[in-house]
Structure 1
Amino acid sequence: MLADRYDAEIVKEVLLSRENYKPFPTSEDRSEWCELPQNLKRFWINKGESRFNYSWPTITATQYMDFSRTGNRVRYDTVLLERRQDLASLVIAECIENHGRFMDDIVNGIWCICEETFWGIPGHGYMMRRQDPLPDVSDRIIELFAAETASLLAWTYYLLKNKLDAMSRMICERIHLEVKTRILDPYLQRTDFWWMGFNQEKMLNNWNPWCNSNCLMAFLLLEDDQQRREAAVVKAMHSLDMYIQRLDPDGGCEEGPKYWIYAGGMLFDGLELLYGATNGKLDVFQEPLIQNVGRYIYKAYIDGCFYANFADSSPKVHIPADLMYRYGRRIEDSRLSGLGAIELKKKHEESTFVHYSIMFRQLSAIFHYAEMEHYIGESPYLRDTWFDGIQVMVAREQEGSSEGLYLAAKGGHNDESHNHNDIGHFIVYCDGSPMIIDPGVGSYTSKSFFSERYSLWTMQSAYHNLPLVNGAQQLAGRQYEADQVHYHQDETLASITMNIAKAYPESAGITSWKRAIKLIRDSNPYIEIQDYFQLTRMSDDITLMLMTPHAPQVEGIGCIALQDVNLHRLTIRYNGELFSVSIDTIVLDDEAMREVWGDRLYRIMLNAQTAGNQGESIIKISK
């Protein structure tokens, strides 16, 4: 899509030099900074003042070693990322106010970050050739946060260079040296970083656009040698192509809505950089795939801050307002831009604060703020969506409204990026409120990836809305997949049917397990889960699970009620002669999950009462 269309000769012809690349006004170009809304300027100056005369937090060797010793990723990562967010806030505050009072703190922040041995996080140290509890300073790997750090320092250089030079010429020289040594040179010299996609030994995911877009920013803002700038652009296009070619035409994000921010969203950032650095000459925004990648996020939107959260995504996601707005405007999709405007109106000035200090997005959000405040797009509430590539269905009662029942369900396979073992899984919301849920994922630790991933309960099929058969859960791997998947949609019905037998090991003894998940839109809409199964042997060891954040109320044989604090209510009906009910309370001790669900979740277990080698279950869910 990119490299074949725009070869090195075209890049050489159209790429702006560093001197002519002016994506945003510097601190000296005052007119646009002065014209920002007063409330927005006050918000960012307050952010800067909160770090005035700041004592930058230390990062010690033993803090880094904490990951190898305990598996904890939060303690070290938090300090590292807060340093970057604080520097970004101070830089923007100085650009807005322009009085120089934040400059000492900015220089201290630059110096602290430049003196860090490794700009990445311990959880990504596996990329180094020599494995050790401490990072190898001789092995300049590029991972997510090292690339982001280079981008942040490059933007700081671009925005404040003359002010920094007036204090000491060593500051900008240090930025240039560190970014060149750690990022620019390795980016051009090495092809072995798995996320580049040149050695296809690993599945590409959000790392590819995330790293590429940040490295590209650093080259565009810092690199003086035009030939090296051109080479970086060409290499970035080749690498992004490796990612783009593995995307499904429908643009579905198998990593879930949270990771769309860094997958599809970072792809947009990279394409937007290419567009801007060539005065619009490198432009693929009219490609259907690129447009569908953007549209995914409103197709997965439920209501408020809730999104259909399969894989490692939280159900509560704050998608950057400006990212959706600009993506929508670029592809001329008023639903996507409209969802961005809705997000801005929910958070106002706070919507311009982007976590992980992605300065490109923060600056874009600041300079589009006034425009977004007055934008009104189309409703993002689509009635029906089908992602054929990732086999995800979304349906709601009516177009243009979150009122009523909402259903999302999935087929797919159990080797997706950020995979959970969840073939045949579904979620149900009522009037925009979560009722039958995907729990999401806890805070990442050393167990979250690689060999111990499925020891975590949040990854296991027993904690999704799925069957447990003869004590066997679904297994991870590409061969564990949905079969015979069919989607249907009309005015009165949206459904997905599949055989999920292949998702289970032989020990489950499943010959066939056909699951149909339906939203029926009649005078009294309801959701129906139909299971028809055949086993290799007689068994009564069959349990159907339903996960919920609300304490279930058993209202007689075959009937369970769920109700939230706002009195949204669902009734679950099942065959009480075939299944008994038990309820498992799951106390949440993980802070990330508690922020979403409170202190506990509940697992409803419908347990078979009689043995058989075949059977049928119908669960009906209604308001």
Structure 2
Amino acid sequence: MFLFFVMLQINALGQHTLERHLSGAVLTNTVNRIDDWRLEKKNEWKKAIQALSILEKSHIMKVAEDANLFTWPSLLATKYLEYKTDGNRTRYEDDINTRRSIVSHLVIGELVEGKGRFIPQIINGLWLMMEESTWVSPAHIVVQKSGIGLPDPLDDYIDLGAGRVAADLAMVYLLLGDELNQISPMITKKLKDVLQSRILNPYLVRDDFWWMALQSNNMVNNWNIWINTNVLKVALLVEEDASRLKMIIQKLAHSADKFIDSYAEDGACEEGPSYWLHAGGELGQMLLWLEDVSDGEVTFKEEHKLFNIGNYILNSHIYRNRYINFADAEAIQVPYPAKIWAYGTLYNDDNLKAYASYLTTLKSPSMSLGTVQDFLMHASIYNELSNHRKDFIAPQFHFYESLGQATMRSLNKKGNLFLATIGSNNGVSHNHNDVGSYMLYLDSTPVLIDVGVGTYTKETFSRNRYTLWNMQSQWHNLPIINGIQQKDGRSYHAEDVEYITNNETAQYRVNVAKAYPKEAAVQSWMRTIKMHAGNNEIRVEEQYQLEEFKKPQSISFISKIKPQLVKDGFFLQLDNGKKVFINFERETVTFSLENKEIEDPRLIKVWGGMLYKMNVLIKSMELRNQVIYKIIAN
């Protein structure tokens, strides 16, 4: 089995951000006061839950009452094996996620009502979870020494799911331990035992989990901070041995620093906004917990890079629930407001708090009940979050140099054109071959799109990833050069990336030639995108120099709206009647339209059942040439 993980490079020098803040007496004092902190946390959470609105409580009770009627199906070994046999991971994960959600709904209902009504079903769910052979996903068990298949009982591994489950169980242990003990003390005894044996013990003794990044040539992505944050929660809530707790925090700081070091100073998340929730979003939770448990001895307010990591999600927002979705990011999402509020709190940034508060208006009731920890995260700040101002400000023009990610907003009264670019390399985490591509919106409507990722299967994270059509550059808004597409890998990258802005214009330039293999025979392909906000117009220049001419050059334009041809161009008409015209210089190109029927349910949910690719074929056979087109909204 070929294990495919594309991860972020680690900064070899290392800034030791967490280790600097958690050294010496600070860590000792933190560990020494852990019992007092746990009692404070328990009381704080319970008080916050009781202060929730009537609307939220009534919704919670309805969900909990439905969960109380649930019958618990078995988790089948044959379903776990499906990932090995046919590449499907979702059928088992659907079953396991249903079980997790039901337990969360019951626990949250009991925390709200406090009458013991849900305790019997909670015990049933907890016991089943503790009896599971593994908490590791079938798609992630591939790293065990015995390889893909059923979990090896002698090879404990910690993956994303295991960490997430463990953190929830640790919170149940703290908040409902007394109630569970009234039924049987064996429940909490077993809870503590499985958290030690499946999480804390292997975390302490193993250094070979790739996501820890503790060995030479290890690399890191969102797994590092997501799992480390959950391990921190488990340790702080459950571990009673002071020396072990101290060792866990020290190791955790060393490992999580690798995640921080992998980011550029601008804080850009190369995995995209939806993965920010599990990357920068989880880092924010770790920072909050460390500040809280240290009783103010630890503060990260002077760490501006960490603030930049938190601010990335706002700068990637388009409109309402629409986000930049390069790589495997999702075009439609509502980020969890509490994770954004965390950075507003850490850095006393009122704009981030306003943005987090705004996001609560996109869901009603606004609280997530999928995990206990997400619920508690929100409950702790519920009133502040709900009542804060919601008029946040997103920058009109913004640029992340480390990713070549530029954003431009026309803010024009006739319609707000939004354009985002990407210009990094084709070896980023969750990569698509998209160097130099862009997406275009008018108001809230996607006009030229990044298709994004479909349902995850075994192929998604394998050597066959780039056989999937939506990973390929021909299904991005990019040129096909001499009939050749872009190639995957960090060596296929952008060059000469530049972003210049003034009051009314923004210009982005990128040379995409190095993103193509040598077969493309291209010396330079300079794409220049200039937005004139006042005119609500974008001008694009495609200037190229070939080594030889093999096939006609073409440019792909991907849309969910069917393009309609006009003289020297085409237009896309939105449902509200507005039109976006893409006009080329006279008689320099020809056009052909390709339909793409969508079968993947994840993509259908975002784009519907049909996508369109307008292939714009450049007539010129010259080695040096320039094609210019304008994008005009009216």
Match 1:322 to one of 338, 344, 348: 338
Match of 1:458 in 2: 470
Report whether the alignment pairs 1:292 with 2:308. Answer: yes
1:403–1:57 Cα change, 3 Å: farther
Distance of aligned partners of 1:217 and 1:284 in 2 relative to their CA distance in 1, 3 Å threshold: same
What amino acid sits opposite 1:412 in the alignment? Answer: S
Q: Measure how far apart 1:26 and its partner are.
A: 4.2
Matched, 1:404 2:416: yes
1:617 corresponds to:
627
Q: Trace 1:340-359 onto structure 2 (pairs within 5 A).
A: 340-349=356-365, 351-353=366-368, 355=370, 357=371, 359=372
Q: How does 1:49-198 map to 2 (within 5 A)?
A: 49-198=65-214
Specify the alignment match of 2:598 in structure 1: 588
1:565 aligns with 2:558: no
Report the counterpart of residue 255 of structure 2 in structure 1.
Answer: 239
Of 344, 348, 354, which aligns to 1:338? 354
Which residue type is aligned with residue 214 of structure 1? N
Q: Hey, what's the Cα distance between the residues in 2 that align with 1:557 and 1:480?
A: 36
Matched, 1:386 2:399: yes
1:211 alignment partner in structure 2: 227
In structure 1, the residue matched to 2:554 is: 543
Q: Distance in 2 between the 1:487 and 1:345 partners? A: 34
Query: How far apart are residue 19 of structure 1 and its match?
Result: 2.3
Residues 474 and 485 in structure 2, CA contact (< 8 A), matched pair in contact too: yes
Give the CA deviation at 1:274: 1.0
**Amino acid corresponding to residue 353 of structure 1 in structure 2:** S
Q: Match for 1:431 among 436, 443, 446?
A: 443
Deviation of 1:9 after TM superposition, in Å, equals 4.0
For residues 94-123 of structure 1, give each alpha carbon's deviation from its aligned partner in whole angstroms, at most 9, with x where no partner exists: 010111111111001101111111101111
With structure 2 as the length reference, what TM-score do the two structures score?
A: 0.94
Given that 1:584 and 1:604 are in contact with CA atoms closer than 8 Å, whether structure 2 keeps it comes out as yes
| CA distance 1:81–1:10, shift in 2 (3 Å) | same
Displacement after TM superposition at 1:8 (Å)? 4.4
**1:598 aligned to 587, 608, 626, which one?**
608
Q: Which runs of 5+ in 2 are unaligned?
A: 1-16
Following superposition, the deviation at residue 132 of structure 1 comes to: 3.7
Shift of the 198–371 alpha-carbon distance from structure 1 to 2, 3 Å rule, reads same
User: RMSD in angstroms over aligned alpha carbons?
Assistant: 1.8
1:497 is aligned to: 509
Shift of the 492–28 alpha-carbon distance from structure 1 to 2, 3 Å rule, reads closer
**In the TM superposition, what are the counterparts of 1:24-39 in structure 2 within 5 Å?**
26=42, 31-39=47-55
Q: Any conservation in 2 of the 1:457–1:463 contact (CA below 8 Å)?
A: yes
Partner of 1:276 in structure 2? Answer: 292
Deviation string, structure 1 residues 121-170 (Cα, Å, up to 9, x no partner): 11111221111421111110111111111111111111100000000111
Q: In the TM superposition, what is the alpha-carbon distance from 1:271 to its structure 2 partner?
A: 1.2
Q: Please, which of 417, 420, 426 is the counterpart of residue 414 of structure 1?
A: 426
User: Are the aligned partners of 1:257 and 1:317 in contact in 2 as well (CA < 8 Å)?
Assistant: no
AA matched with 1:388: E
1:373 to 368, 386, 391: 386
In structure 2, the residue matched to 1:265 is 281
**Is 1:531 aligned to residue 545 of structure 2?**
no
Using the TM superposition, give the Cα deviation of residue 610 of structure 1 relative to its aligned residue in structure 2, in angstroms. Answer: 4.0
Percent identity of equivalent pairs: 32
User: Are the counterparts in 2 of residues 468 and 544 from structure 1 also a CA contact under 8 Å?
Assistant: yes
User: Which amino acid in structure 1 is aligned with residue 479 of structure 2?
Assistant: P
Q: 1:256 to 1:160 in 2, by over 3 A?
A: same
Q: Secondary structure at the match of 2:599?
A: coil
Secondary structure of 1:19's counterpart equals helix
CA distance in 1, matches of 2:414, 2:386: 23
C-alpha displacement of 1:364: 1.9
Deviation for aligned residue 1:536: 1.4
Distance 2:469 2:151 in 1: 31
Per mean C-alpha deviation after superposition, the further-off stretch among 284-293 and 27-36 is 27-36
Partner of 2:377: 364
Kept in 1, the 8 Å contact 2:208–2:215? The answer is yes
Contact 1:23–1:276 under 8 Å retained in 2 = no
Whole-angstrom CA distance in 2 between matches of 1:377 and 1:100: 38
Specify whether residues 419 and 139 from structure 1 end up closer, same or farther in structure 2 by C-alpha distance, changes over 3 A only: same
The one-letter code of the counterpart of 2:455 is S
Q: Distance in 2 between matches of 1:200 and 1:527?
A: 46
Residue 30 of structure 1: how far off its partner (Å): 5.7
Q: Is the Cα contact below 8 Å between 2:338 and 2:377 reproduced in 1?
A: yes
Determine the structure 1 residue equivalent to 2:564: 553
Tell me how far 1:4 sits from its aligned partner: 2.9
Amino acid in structure 2 at the alignment position of 1:618:
I
Q: Is the 8 A contact 2:163 2:230 kept in 1?
A: yes
Q: Distance in 1 between matches of 2:550 and 2:49?
A: 71
Cα displacement (A) at 1:366: 2.0
Q: Distance in 1 between matches of 2:97 and 2:572?
A: 39
Letter aligned with residue 371 of structure 1: E
Work out the CA distance in 1 between the residues paired with 2:497 and 2:363: 40
Answer yes or no: is 1:311 the counterpart of 2:327: yes
* 493-502 or 256-265, larger mean C-alpha shift: 493-502
How far apart are residue 402 of structure 1 and its match? 11
Instruction: Please tell me whether the aligned partners of residues 419 and 441 of structure 2 are also in contact (alpha carbons under 8 angstroms).
Output: yes
Q: Is the 8 A contact 1:540 1:612 kept in 2?
A: no
1:20-60 CA-to-partner distances (Å, cap 9, x unmatched) read 22387648986543332111111111111111132123211
Structure 1 letter corresponding to 2:385: M
Q: What CA distance in whole angstroms lies between the structure 1 residues aligned with 2:484 and 2:40?
A: 56
Aligned length, in residue pairs: 617
CA distance in 1, matches of 2:309, 2:598: 34
Q: In the TM superposition, what is the alpha-carbon distance from 1:379 to its structure 2 partner? A: 2.2
- Does the 8 A contact of 1:302 with 1:432 survive in 2? yes
Q: Provide the C-alpha distance between the structure 2 equivalents of 1:253 and 1:560, rounded to a whole number of angstroms.
A: 34
Q: Tell me: higher relative CO, structure 1 or 2? Use CA pairs within 8 A at least 6 residues apart.
A: 2
On the 8 A contact 1:8/1:234 being kept in 2, the answer is no
2:34–2:293: 8 Å Cα contact kept in structure 1? no
Match of 1:538, SS? coil
CA contact (8 A) 2:321 2:362 kept: no
AA aligned to 1:498 is V
Distance 1:346 1:492 in 2: 31
What SS is found at the alignment partner of 1:293? Answer: helix
Match of 1:221, as an amino acid? L
> What amino acid is aligned across from residue 614 of structure 1 in structure 2?
R
Q: Return the alpha-carbon distance in structure 1 between the equivalents of residues 559 and 341 of structure 2.
A: 33
Q: Does 1:448 align with 2:460?
A: yes
The answer to whether the 8 A contact 2:108-2:369 is kept is: no
CA distance in 1, matches of 2:128, 2:60: 22
TM-superposed deviation, 1:576:
5.0
Q: Is the 8 A contact 1:210 1:266 kept in 2?
A: yes
Tell me if structure 1 keeps the 8 A contact 2:26–2:294. no
CA distance in 2, matches of 1:617, 1:58: 61
Give the structure 1 partner of residue 3 of structure 2.
none
User: Does structure 1 retain, via aligned residues, the 8 Å contact 2:426–2:433?
Assistant: yes
Aligned 8 A contact 1:433 1:568 in 2: no
Could you list the per-position Cα deviations for residues 508-567 of structure 1 after superposition, in whole angstroms to 9, with x for gaps in the alignment?
A: 111111111221223x2211221111111134421100111111111x221211122233
